[in-house]
Every structure is written in C-alpha cells, then in structure tokens.
C-alpha cells in the first residue's frame, strides 16, 4: 500500500464506526439474514447467483462455534425456503479450527449433512497463510469421506499454490481461484501485481486442462479478459466454471459478464461483525477510503 493510502487507512481506523458504517454497506448486505435474503433475491432477478457468508472468524470459545453452525444451518434453510439461487461460504476459524481441529471437522460435517439434505453446496473459504495447511487437510479428509458438495479456495499470491493444486487436482477439486487478500511476507507470497497475475493464469490453465470446476474470483479486468480467451481457446463449457465477484464491487463489469453469457456468483457477506471485513475491503480499494473522508469533511464543512 502506498504511503498516502496507509495514511488514509490510519485515519479511517480512528473514526467512529457510525461514520464508517454507511460506506461499509457498499460491501455488505447488512447485519441480518433478512438483509442477505433481500440482496440475493435482487441478484437472482438479474441472473446472478449468490454465496452467502456470515461474517466472523477466529472465535475462541466452542459455544461461539456451535452458534455459528446453527446460524449457517438457518442460512441453508432460508435459501431453501426462499428458493434462492445461492450457496454458502464458511470460514473454518469460525467453526473452531483454532480451538480443536477434530471439533471443527465435526462442526463442518454436521453442516454439510444439512446442506446435502437441501441439495446445496458449501464453499470453505481460505484465510491467512497460517491456516492454509489445516484448511486443505480438512478438505482432503472430507473428500476422502466421499463429500462432493464442498469446495475450497486457492490464493494465487501464495508461492505454494501451484504445489497445492497439484495435490488437489486428482480428486477433481472444486476450487475458487482468487488473488488473495491477506497481508503475507514476501517469503511466502508474491508481491508484484504482474507476478500474481501470471500465477493466477498458470493455476487457471491447470484447472481448465484437468477439467476441474473453477470459480474465477477476480475484479481484475486484465485477468477477466485473459480468462475469457482461455475459455474460448479451450472450449470450456459454461457448466464447468463461473465468475465470482464481491458484493458492491464493479457492478457494471459484473453486468457485462452476465450479458456475455457467463455464469456469475456474488459473494454476499452479512452480520454484526461487519467492521473487520469492511476495513479489509477498504484497504484493497483506496478510492473507497477517500470517499469516506471526503464525505465526512463535506458534512462538517
């Protein structure tokens, strides 16, 4: 992040949450499941799929994890009852990964039993690099147990990701491929934009060549253009991939992809833990940070 953006972030972090929240709502559906249902209904009306996510991670008590499981079960029920075209995304640290891996696995399998009952799918989000090994191990364990309705995430900025994919591809992994959003040391992560782009396309080619289902999660127009070329050249069928974008980001680009006939899914986060997620999004999009400050000072003027 360039120095001016670092300064803007530091200023934003000392502002009252009441000031930040109206801008955070550009990136989240709201605080309640009803908010998320409303947003997904609108997206579905525009031929866009959803993936709903209850915000929150790194819980420290088993009671919190069990509450998260129950809340996710309610999301799956709401998707079913409202006939939404949406699946569910989860974070393993919310399910107790840092408390006890066996406890986390039990929580995930219980949720997946509910998802299977409703004919739905659960995407296991990837978190910071300290969680990568445990996340992939748990996913491999699920697949070895015969679970087909779960997917995982690979982050292109991690140097290890090509090796990870080679390990996952034989099981016909269902993967969301993204650049990666967490700040990691250069020893384990590519830092230059072009390095990340090259690795993203390398990993994508691997997935296309091995006929794995891939969710292409990016707002980078260069990568989207290159991906469309790969789809045409490889004659990749529409049922074998989808694009994914974050709620509130590059809506016009999203609309163009849908108009061009691509399947597209929007990540719809909601919940009371909106602040940490929104700050991460603001840091990734400095222009939005400036909107916050300009609006704040305009009101005061």
Point out the catalytic residue in the list 123, 125, 164, 265: 125
d(CA 101, CA 96): 7
Determine whether 123 is an active site residue.
no
Q: Is 176 a catalytic residue?
A: yes
DSSP code of 119?
T
> CB burial class (10 A; 0-12, 13-18, 19+) of residue 291?
middle
Here the tokens at position 204 are 């994508």
Distances (CA, A) of 188 to 102, 166, 184, 185: 27, 18, 7, 6
Which stretches of 82-127 are DSSP H helices? 101-117
212 within 8 A of 166, measured Cβ to Cβ: no
Give me the catalytic one of 53, 123, 164, 176: 176
Helix, strand, coil distribution of the chain in percent, nearest 5? 55, 15, 30
Q: Which residues are catalytic?
A: 125, 176
């Amino acid at each position: 992040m360039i120095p001016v953006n670092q300064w803007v972030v530091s200023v934003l972090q000392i502002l009252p949450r009441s000031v930040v929240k109206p801008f955070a709502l550009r990136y989240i559906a709201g605080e309640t499941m009803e908010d998320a249902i409303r947003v997904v209904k609108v997206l579905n009306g525009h031929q866009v799929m959803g993936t709903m996510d209850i915000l929150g991670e790194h819980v420290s008590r088993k009671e919190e994890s069990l509450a998260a499981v129950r809340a996710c079960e309610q999301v799956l029920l709401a998707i079913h009852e409202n006939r939404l075209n949406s699946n569910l995304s989860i974070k393993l640290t919310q399910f107790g990964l840092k408390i006890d891996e066996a406890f986390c696995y039990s929580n995930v399998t219980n949720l997946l039993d509910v998802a299977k009952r409703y004919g739905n799918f659960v995407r296991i989000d990837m978190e910071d690099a300290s969680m990568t090994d445990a996340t992939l191990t748990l996913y491999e364990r699920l697949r070895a147990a015969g679970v087909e309705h779960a997917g995982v995430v690979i982050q292109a900025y991690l140097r290890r990701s090509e090796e990870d994919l080679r390990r996952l591809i034989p099981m016909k992994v269902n993967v969301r491929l993204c650049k990666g959003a967490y700040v990691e040391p250069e020893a384990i992560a590519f830092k230059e934009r072009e390095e990340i782009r090259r690795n993203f396309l390398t990993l994508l080619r691997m997935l296309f060549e091995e006929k794995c289902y891939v969710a292409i999660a990016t707002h980078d127009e260069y990568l989207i253009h290159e991906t469309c070329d790969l789809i045409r050249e490889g004659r990749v069928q529409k049922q074998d991939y989808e694009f994914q974008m974050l709620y509130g980001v590059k809506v016009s680009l999203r609309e163009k992809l849908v108009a061009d006939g691509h399947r597209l899914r929007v990540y719809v986060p909601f919940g009371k833990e909106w602040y940490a997620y929104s700050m991460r999004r603001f840091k990734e999009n400095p222009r939005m940070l400036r909107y916050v400050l300009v609006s704040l000072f305009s009101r005061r003027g």
